[in-house]
Every structure is written in structure tokens, then in C-alpha cells.
């Protein structure tokens, strides 16, 4: 078993000698005659406990404590102050700077040793516990990353399945993912939402699933080159419900933080701000922000992309149609932020 290291810092030789005699049989004892030397040792050695005099030349004990705190040492290395001063103000300053205990002069070496051994053992247990917690957190982060990657694999596989059914959906879902994230970052920048980076990335992944229910729609309707009949349109509208039914049967996805975003977006990306959307007729902020964002992204992509039933509109035409309410009704604030970055989105995702 490796011996613990004790650093004794005192400008008086006899004090250092007395303390050194108390510890040398069980500990590696290092000595410093002032604070500056002590800091140099602390920067270059692994020290387990410090016995620190307060009144010293060059750098006193309080200055040493302040530097240890500044360099994040104070939580890892217990410091005992050694002083003849017993006023409350003096002692309180030491505790505020991070000292674990104060030893007043004259001192009993054997008594000091017992106190210090208890503290060293306490810190060793705490360090060991922290290492266990850190290892567990590292394992959890790895598992979380693996689960996130597995879930992304699932949604990307389903997106590929849509691509085989619907000729425009392969590139479409990729653009929706990027556009959703770009718009959410813009909304956060303008203090309209407080989503974290991880949440925005998750929502972007969930956006890929918005049309997964189209897997259940007959080819004759899904890829019809002309306008849908009223009956066909009702069948097409069912892709929101069918998509959620599909998601409910993916057990791996249901266990992840991605699931609720996927479900909400899949079901509600055709709801309208005025309440005239489907399938639930939600109105205003009853529609989640992420479903609103995906809805707007979906409409913009449909307008500026060529489809089996239409040619692509120009950027200017698409923006005019969206802002005039010809292709859905959207939250005014969402439209404001979308207008601010729509040209950037178009040039990034569509220009080529």
C-alpha cells in the first residue's frame, strides 16, 4: 500500500520538526518554509493533506488557500490551518477559503495525528465514491449514445422504406431534419424557446418520422400525378394516425426520449394554427412548437420541390404563398423567424 503524503508548511523550523516526527513513521512527509514553496510542491506532487501555518513570509496561509481554491485543489486536498490566533473573524476567514479544520498552537502532535488520519480516510472514501460515480456516469453516457444511435438507425431505416414507396421522400426527410433544426436554433436565439442542443437534435431526428404513416397508403393514391378526390384525400389524411400506430409497435423506440417527439410530430404535423387542420383539429399553442415547425418545413419543402403532381415553385413564389396563407396557417411569430432565415435555408438545402 502506497504511503500518503503530508505537506507541512510553516516558517518555524521547530514546528515543522515536531509535526514531521508525528507523521514520518506512517506517511511521506514533505516540508515547505513558506507559501510559495508549498504551492510549487502542490503543483508538482500528489499531496493527500496539508498542515498550513497562517503567518509566514513571502506568502501567508490565506494566500495559499486562495490559490488552491483558484486551481480547484481545495475539494481534493484537505487543509488544516495551524495558528495561535483564536479570534472568530480570523478563523472564519480560513473556513470560508476552504480549510477543513483549525489547529491552535500550542498543539498536541498525537491528537493532531488522529484528527488528520480521520480526515484522510474520509477524503479517500469520498474520492473512491466519486470515482465509482464517474465510472457509472461514463457507462450511462455510452449506453445513452448507443441507444440514440440505435434509434436513429431505426428511423433512418423507416425513412428508407418511405423512399422506396414515395419517390420524393428520401431527400425530403433529410431536408426536413435539417430545416427543423435550423428553425429551432433561430427560435432559441430569439428567446422564443429554451430547448437545449440535445433536444433540438432529437426533434430534428423525430422530424424524419413525420410521414412514416405513408407506408400504409396505397400507391395509387400516394403517387397519383393528379389531384386527389375527396375520398382519396380522406385516405391520405390517415397517414398521421397510421404512422402513430406504427410507432406504438416499435418497442425499442418507445423506451427512448425520442419517442414522444416522434409520436407528436407524426400525428400533428398537419394541424393548423386556426384549428382547421387534422387529425385532431388542434388550435393555436395546443399544437406543440416542434409539430408547428415541422409543419412549416414540410409545406416549404413541398412548394419548392418537384412532385409527381406539380412543378417546383420558385423561392419567391413559395414565400408569398406561405405568408398569404395559401398553404396552411402558421403561428405569426414562427412565420417571422422563418422569414428571417428562409433564404439561408433555401440556398443551403435547395439552390443546387
Segment 7-22 mean pLDDT: 88
Residue whose entry in the numeric block shows the C-alpha cell 501555518 = 53
Give residue 309's pLDDT: 74
Write down the architecture of domain 135-349 according to CATH.
Orthogonal Bundle (1.10)
Q: Residue 278: which of 238, 246, 242, 326 has the closest Cα?
A: 238
**Enclosing H/E stretch for 101:** strand 101-104
Q: Residue 11: which of 77, 60, 45, 64 has the closest Cα?
A: 60
Cβ–Cβ < 8 Å for 175, 211: no
25-49 pLDDT, tens digit per residue, is: 888 999 999 999 999 999 998 888 8
Segment 189-195 mean pLDDT: 92
User: Over pLDDT 90: what percentage of the chain?
Assistant: 42
How is domain 5-107 classified at the CATH fold level? Answer: Rossmann fold (3.40.50)
Give residue 274's pLDDT: 94
| Largest pairwise CA distance in the chain | 101
294-327 pLDDT, tens digit per residue, is: 999 999 999 998 877 788 899 999 999 999 999 8
Angle between helices 332-349 and 315-323 (to 10 degrees): 170
Cβ–Cβ < 8 Å for 23, 6: yes
Give residue 196's pLDDT: 95
Catalytic residues: 214
Instruction: Name the more confident of 132 and 178.
Output: 178
Q: Report the distance separating Cα 331 and Cα 289, nearest Å.
A: 9
48-79 pLDDT, tens digit per residue, is: 889 998 888 889 889 999 999 899 888 888 89
* Domain boundary assignment for the chain: 5-107, 135-349
Cβ–Cβ < 8 Å for 263, 250: no
Instruction: Name the more confident of 8 and 26.
Output: 8
Instruction: Name the more confident of 87 and 271.
Output: 271
| pLDDT of 163 over the 80 cut | no
Amino acid at each position: 500500500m502506497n504511503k500518503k503524503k503530508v505537506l507541512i508548511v510553516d516558517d518555524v523550523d521547530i514546528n515543522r520538526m515536531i509535526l514531521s516526527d508525528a507523521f514520518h513513521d506512517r506517511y511521506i512527509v514533505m516540508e515547505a518554509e513558506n507559501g510559495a514553496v508549498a504551492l510549487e510542491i502542490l503543483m508538482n506532487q500528489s499531496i493527500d493533506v496539508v498542515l498550513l501555518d497562517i503567518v509566514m513570509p513571502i506568502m501567508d496561509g490565506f494566500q495559499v488557500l486562495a490559490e488552491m481554491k483558484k486551481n480547484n485543489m481545495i475539494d481534493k486536498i484537505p487543509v488544516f490551518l495551524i495558528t495561535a490566533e483564536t479570534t472568530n473573524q480570523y478563523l472564519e476567514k480560513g473556513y470560508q477559503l476552504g480549510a477543513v479544520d483549525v489547529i491552535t498552537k500550542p498543539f498536541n502532535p498525537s491528537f493532531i495525528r488522529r484528527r488528520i488520519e480521520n480526515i484522510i480516510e474520509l477524503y479517500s472514501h469520498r474520492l473512491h465514491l466519486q470515482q465509482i460515480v464517474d465510472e457509472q456516469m461514463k457507462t450511462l453516457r455510452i449506453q445513452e449514445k448507443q441507444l440514440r444511435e440505435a434509434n436513429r438507425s431505426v428511423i433512418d431505416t423507416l425513412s428508407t422504406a418511405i423512399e422506396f414507396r414515395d419517390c420524393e421522400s428520401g431527400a425530403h426527410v433529410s431536408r426536413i431534419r435539417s430545416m427543423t433544426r435550423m428553425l429551432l436554433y433561430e427560435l432559441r436565439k430569439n428567446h422564443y424557446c429554451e430547448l437545449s442542443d440535445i433536444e433540438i437534435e432529437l426533434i430534428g431526428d423525430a422530424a424524419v418520422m413525420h410521414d412514416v404513416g405513408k407506408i400504409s397508403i396505397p400507391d395509387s393514391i400516394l403517387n397519383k400525378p393528379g389531384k386527389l378526390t375527396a375520398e382519396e384525400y380522406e385516405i391520405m389524411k390517415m397517414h398521421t394516425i397510421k404512422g402513430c400506430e406504427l410507432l406504438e409497435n416499435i418497442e425499442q423506440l418507445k423506451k427512448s426520449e425520442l419517442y414522444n417527439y416522434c409520436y407528436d410530430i407524426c400525428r400533428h404535423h398537419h394541424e393548423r394554427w386556426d384549428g382547421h387542420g387534422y387529425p385532431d383539429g388542434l388550435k393555436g399553442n395546443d399544437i406543440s412548437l416542434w409539430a408547428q415547425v415541422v409543419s412549416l418545413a414540410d409545406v416549404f419543402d413541398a412548394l419548392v420541390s418537384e412532385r409527381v403532381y406539380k412543378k417546383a415553385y420558385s423561392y419567391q413564389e413559395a414565400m408569398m404563398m406561405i405568408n398569404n396563407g395559401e398553404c396552411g396557417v402558421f403561428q405569426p411569430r414562427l412565420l417571422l423567424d422563418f422569414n428571417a432565415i428562409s433564404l439561408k435555408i433555401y440556398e443551403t438545402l435547395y439552390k443546387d
